[in-house]
Amino acid sequence: MFHIEPMLPSPFRVVKNRKETQDTRTLELASATGGDVPSWRPGQFMMLYVFGAGEIPISIAGDPARREAITHTVRAVGPVSRAICQAKPGSAIGVRGPFGSAWPTDRYEQHDIVLVAGGIGLAPLRPAIYAIMANRSRYGRVLLLAGSRTPDIFLYRREVDRWRRRDIEVRLTVDAAAKDWTNSVGPVTTLIPRAEFDVKRSAAFIVGPEIMMRFVVQALAQRGMSLDHMFLSMERNMKCAVGFCGHCQLGPAFICKNGPVFSFSQLEPWLSIRDM
Amino acid sequence: MEKDIDALLADHLFFKDMDASHRALIAGCGKNVVFKAGEFLAQSNTPANEFFAIRHGRVSIEIHSAGRGPLLIQTLDAGDIAGWSWLFPPYRWKFDARAIEPVRAIRFDGACLRGKCERDPAMGYDFMKRFAQVFMQRLEASRLQLLDIYGNVPH
């Protein structure tokens, strides 16, 4: 149904709505008409429509192997995201998608993978982590470097500990912390110079605000990683999600259709143009 | 067999690719030290006669505020350098440096190193370039912390 009429939301119902942090919730949505959710790939996003409030793009944050529900982690920062966060189990949400490009997890088997997340950017990376964990032996070192403003707003804290036990090296850092915080303090870029990975045989998947991603790219490039091996998930005012409206255009690309996942070398000519 | 200071420096990120003769000179001012979790490597407003090359463990750079306790500014790990107040008069620590976990480090005598840098400008220049890079990284980190780079776009 999703491919026949991409502009028409399908009815989903909220199965679970779990608190992650003070302003962030993780929702599980199942098809209101029954059956499996549409198949999707890590890195893709959905358009979530709260009737009477509006529609926004939200990355898929769950396990791609799960077929009975689709998972989104949403921070309440505006009227629509607030309405999604307040949706109670059983209530209806319109869903379009999945849309966009995916993390190139298959292409970088036998490589070290460096996952860099800032703030809520951990949510779009989570499906890639599930995909890598499902085939962990096919990858070299897997590192997750995650930054946040303060310790209390880190997502998936208990789950992050489980990832550690599945041979994923996790480094957490915050901008500000009290004395009892034993992880790092400083921006996420400060974790990169000491991160252990094979720069000649590695790829980086990066999600966060654009300023953060720009500095992460610089830090990885300083280590010697190729720009072609760095992938960013972009978010730029996606409205239609299918490349019709042009709201999310960046240079020759539509973020919704050609992205949201791009290699940095694809984006580089356009990111440095002011006001674009 | 335990490595000597020169061999330990050869493995340390800060001294990476340093000319061996320069590294050997610097090693003469260093000695191995260990700190238990919670111990201070340095405390603010005390004489800064040294700096530390961290080999293992995590160190927090803090400032103590009356009524608020220690405020963490940044953490440092193996491969990092703690301390640059030894380079500039009045040679007093501006911040606290505390071991968050057991720390192994090389402690360098500041007066010894300043003398060697004065006498061997080529070594001094190489050494200062490395410190300048640390300054730059810390400044950039502070700017990014000020920017609140993890902020959100409202929907």
Domain count of the fold of chain A: 2
Whether A261 is covered by a domain: the verdict is no
Q: What CATH number does residue A152 fall under?
A: 3.40.50.80
Which site among B65, B72, B149 would you substitute to test the A interface, given the most A Cβ atoms closer than 10 Å to its Cβ? B149
| Of A209, A134, A204, nearest in space to A175 by CA | A209
Q: Which two tokens stand for residue B97?
A: 């440096």
Same domain, A81 and A181: no
Same domain, A134 and A207: yes
Specify the CATH architecture of the domain B5-147: Sandwich (2.60)
Q: What ranges make up the beta strands (E) of B1-155? A: 30-35, 40-42, 50-56, 59-65, 69-76, 81-82, 96-99, 103-109
Same domain, A141 and A65: no
pLDDT (tens digit, 9 = 90+) per residue, A63-87? 999 999 999 999 999 999 999 999 9
Do the beta carbons of residue A42 and residue A63 sit within 8 Å?
no
Q: How many angstroms separate the CA of residue A73 from the nearest CA in chain B?
A: 14
Whether A195 is covered by a domain: the verdict is yes
- The lowest-confidence range among A55-64, A81-90, A150-159, B78-87 is A150-159
Same domain, A91 and A124: no
Q: Tokens 């050494």 map to which residue?
A: B127
Do the beta carbons of residue A129 and residue A44 sit within 8 Å?
no
In whole numbers, what is the pLDDT of chain A averaged over residues?
A: 91
ipTM for the assembly: 0.84
Structural domain boundaries of chain B? 5-147
Contacts of B82 in chain A (CB under 8 A): none
CA distance A208 to A131: 20
Average pLDDT of span B85-114 = 95
The b/e string for B48-72 (b: 16+ C-beta within 10 A; e otherwise) is bbbbbbbbebbbbbbeeeeeeeebb
Same domain, A37 and A119: no
Chain A residues with at least one Cβ partner in B under 8 Å = 56, 75, 77-81, 118-121, 147-149, 173, 175-179, 181-187, 189-190, 193-194, 208-209, 211-212, 215, 235
Q: CB neighbours (10 Å) of residue A152?
A: 11
| Host domain of residue A46 | 10-99
Q: Which two tokens stand for residue A271?
A: 């990111």
Question: Which of the 8 DSSP states describes residue A138?
Answer: G
The pLDDT of residue B155 is above 60: no
Q: With pLDDT > 90 as the criterion, what percentage of chain B qualifies?
A: 82
Whether A272 is covered by a domain: the verdict is no
A vs B: CB pairs below 8 A: 91
Same domain, A35 and A142: no
Question: Which of the 8 DSSP states describes residue A77?
Answer: -
Same domain, A87 and A132: no
pLDDT (tens digit, 9 = 90+) per residue, A204-226? 999 998 889 999 999 999 999 99
CA distance B130 to B135: 9
Do the beta carbons of residue B59 and residue B41 sit within 8 Å?
yes
Identity of the residue in B71, B145, B155 whose CB atom sits nearest the CB atom of A77? B155
Whether A241 is covered by a domain: the verdict is no
Q: What CATH number does residue A86 fall under?
A: 2.40.30.10
Same domain, A71 and A173: no
Whether A192 is covered by a domain: the verdict is yes
Same domain, A229 and A120: yes
Same domain, A168 and A86: no
Confidence of residue A178 (pLDDT cuts 50, 70, 90): confident
Contacts of B12 in chain A (CB under 8 A): none
Same domain, A121 and A85: no
Whether A275 is covered by a domain: the verdict is no
Whether A173 is covered by a domain: the verdict is yes
Q: CB neighbours (10 Å) of residue B109?
A: 17
Q: Which amino acid is at B90?
A: P
